[in-house]
Chains A and B, each alone.
Chain A
Amino acid sequence: MTKKQDQNASFMVRFNQQIYKEDGDAKVQWRGKISHVQDGDEKRFSDFNDALVFMQEKLADLTIEATKNEPTEERESILQKSFSMFKTVRNVAPQFLKETIKNPKKQFSNIQEQIQDQIENLGEEISEKVHFDQWKKASRADYHELQTSISSLAKEIKKLSSKVDKISKK
């Protein structure tokens, strides 16, 4: 039987906020560090998606380790169920963006909902599907920030999906 402690993963996340001006524009930069308590590994990030990937990797390791002695069929079933957690994380990720990217425009929430819809359809070009014309009064910097966040999120999701596929095939 797997020990109770081996079924736990704890993470400590540190955010460090930097507010500064660049070309007359006020900017906010987040720097972070996530630590996995049980093995002491840590990762720094300036994009929260990197922290999510780090968490997902540690959680996947936990499930893989805990099921290593299970019969193949049973193991596959458990792994599949565990990976459904990743779907949840994928859906939650845009919420984090929403919290992180501060934007005064009300339309932003609409865009966020659209992003979330798009993310559920993996394999599609996320950033192209977002209707940026709803966000007419936003500054160029806001557009750029959003686009960068979306495309990096899309990349991470693809990476994660292929990882999940790979692990499922094992």
Chain B
Amino acid sequence: MSELSDKLQQLTTFYEQAPIKIKTLGQFSVWRNEEKISSKEFGRDKTIQLLQYLISNRHRHALHKEKIMDNLWEDWNDRDFKVALHGIHKALEPNRPSRTEPQFILRQGVSYQLATDSVWIDIDALEKYIIIGNEALSKEKKTAEKAYKKAIELYQGVFLPNRIYEDWSSEEREKTQLLILGTYITLAEIVLDENPLESIRLAQAALAIDNTWEDAYRLQMRGYLAKGNRPQAIKTYMKCEVILEKEYGIAPLPETKQLLQEIEAIG
């Protein structure tokens, strides 16, 4: 087994063994030892928000308490923060003996962070699968394909859909959306020759996220062409043209026009 395949396996094992699993894409839910934690167990909405904030900022090590409070509370005081943090601890570790350190939210002085090595988070796994896919792309195409497919499986919708109006969640949402768009396109390119229908489907999925993604239109055109469906390939170009004109007031790129000419010439 190659090193990259090993890494893929490690991610799967981590998912299977993690005591806490958090889903943030398309909806928010948390599992403790395979049991879904109800929102009632979290108590207040602020408790859930605090956990979501820590997830959004999981790459920034040790977040200062005041910074967290500034972002989540209009007028804050220490008590609000303590109550919310206690709510998370209680939900994630209900049986933790008193006077023992929490396992999943780590504290260093007045800074806090999520223990990403013991908590499985879909968005984190998605990013790791894409990294493996990108590393494998030039040397192990099958591993790359597998990794990208895993990432796509995890993308069930936008990051924290119930927090789209909160600015602290925007960065992660945007980053993930771009990552997944790129993944759809790369995978669609990989499978185009052997499975054009799947390539068309992947391009369609990218367009469902962003209907101005021109690469996706080209891939669909090439997919339809490979399936011998020339009219549909031309129709796809026309759709692309209409959308780009409507959204940006621009024409498709020369590369896309060139592809249309090639398709028309075949007829």
Contact = CB atoms under 8 A, between A and B. Distances in A.
Contact of A21 (B167, B250, B254): B254
Given A20-B253, A37-B165, A31 B248 contact: yes
Nearest to B181: A16
Contacts of A4: 74-75
B178 A46 contact: no
B212 interface: yes
B254 A37 contact: no
B255 interface: yes
B170 A20 contact: no
A12 B170 contact: yes
Contact of B167 (A3, A10, A31, A46): A10
Interface string A19-44: 01110000001010001011110001
A39 B212 CA distance: 22
Nearest to A44: B247
Interface string A50-62: 0000000000000
Contact of A14 (B174, B247, B254): B174
Given A45-B248, A46-B248, A31 B212 contact: yes
A39 B75 CA distance: 22
Contacts of A14: 174, 178
Contacts of A31: 212, 248, 250
Interface residues of A, number: 21
A44 B248 contact: yes
Interface string B153-167: 000000000001111
A165 B158 CA distance: 40
A22 B254 contact: yes
A40 B212 contact: no
B109 interface: no
A46 B251 CA distance: 11
A66 B53 CA distance: 27
A84 interface: no
A18 B170 contact: no
A83 to B, nearest CB: 24
Contacts of B178: 14
A18 B214 CA distance: 10
Interface string B201-215: 000000000001010
B97 interface: no
Contacts of B254: 20-22
A8 interface: yes
A10 B71 CA distance: 13
Nearest to A6: B74
A5 interface: yes
Interface in A140-166: none
Contacts of B166: 37
23 contacts: A4-B74, A4-B75, A8-B167, A10-B167, A12-B170, A14-B174, A18-B214, A18-B253, A20-B253, A20-B254, A20-B255, A29-B250, A29-B253, A31-B212, A37-B165, A37-B167, A37-B170, A38-B167, A39-B165, A40-B164, A44-B212, A46-B248, A46-B250
Interface of A: 3-5, 8, 10, 12, 14, 18, 20-22, 29, 31, 35, 37-40, 44-46
